[in-house]
Amino acid sequence: METSPDARVYHGSPKEFDGEHALPKRNIRSRLSKDGGQEVIFDEESFHATPHKWIALAYTYSSKPYEIDGKIAHYNMGVSLYNNTKEIDIYGFNSLEKSLKELYGNGGYVYHFDKEKFVSKEGLGNLEVIATHPIKPIEAQRINDPVEEMKKLGVTFKFIDLALPENSSKRNYY
């Protein structure tokens, strides 16, 4: 059965699925509470997708390590699941171009699903939906150059240089 792009939701990944179905796993989301602590706003076995292909493309990234100040930090990205800004924060080192290559240079996959099999859920962004059962994609699309595909869709990139001392608090060491 053929589905139109409007009847689809998308999931981006740097890797190909191991099997025919996407499998839900435990996802926990929290936010800062008014008293400064962490408040859990979502805790459920779920598989996430978005109605926006540009967001799925953003998630084809692979985080890479970078040694700085004797510690290992990582290239990373940030995308709003609340506002359809078509802007992606790139947390990298030295230049946007180098950081994009590190994050997206290996390409990735965008999986297309029937949106009728997904639901919105309180505690999640309004640009994401979930399935709570194994689900088979309608299509698996290999993306060789996610950056080029995102640019075609009007995405812009905001570079945060983690090598700069003023951005050291944003380094994700692990």
Average pLDDT, the chain: 93
What pLDDT is recorded for position 6? Answer: 80
- pLDDT confidence tier of residue 32, bands split at 50, 70 and 90: confident
The single-letter code of the amino acid at 106 is: N
Entry pTM: 0.91
pLDDT at 87 over 70: yes
Residues spanned by the domain of 120:
5-170
- 17: which residues sit within 8 A by CB, 6+ positions away? 109, 111, 137, 140
What pLDDT is recorded for position 13? Answer: 97
Half-sphere exposure of 88 (CA within 13 A, CB side): 27
Q: Which two tokens stand for residue 25?
A: 């796993």
What pLDDT is recorded for position 2? Answer: 56
pLDDT at 168 over 90: no
pLDDT at 112 over 80: yes
Total structural domains in the chain?
Answer: 1
